[in-house]
Structure 1
Amino acid sequence: MEQNYFHLTEYSDSVVDIREKFPLLPLEETIVIAEELDLKYPTDPKTNEPIALTTDFLLTVDKMIG
């Protein structure tokens, strides 16, 4: 499904940039938000290091096209 979505957006005239697995916020900020919400922040099971939260796709769109 992700590959299909990528190809769909790649051929859109209004999409000017596609980024994959893009960090949502700096790691420190997401950790603070999790703490404020009393949530356990995700960590790597082997190293116990915090994992950066990402979005699958971040699109930059030219609103003047289309």
Structure 2
Amino acid sequence: MENNMINGMDRVNPNLRDEILAELFLNQMMKNFKRSKILEEIDHSLKNKDKEAFLRLTEELKSVS
């Protein structure tokens, strides 16, 4: 979907295009960061054998992915 949007962006005002691309980039970076933090917390829950935290975090990870 993002590729289709990027391909059609040559018809958009360059300033608006840059703003949209920056927003897409930042959203992806925030998603990657959040996913990374959740994975770290999942590792920690496994290490501590905390089943409740593990189950909660895996559900949270599904919503981020």
The two structures share one fold, judged by TM-score above 0.5: no
Structure having the higher helix fraction is 2
State the TM-score, normalizing by the size of structure 1.
0.31
Instruction: Flag the structure with more relative contact order, 1 or 2, with Cα contacts below 8 A and sequence separation at least 6.
Output: 1
Max radius of gyration: which structure?
2
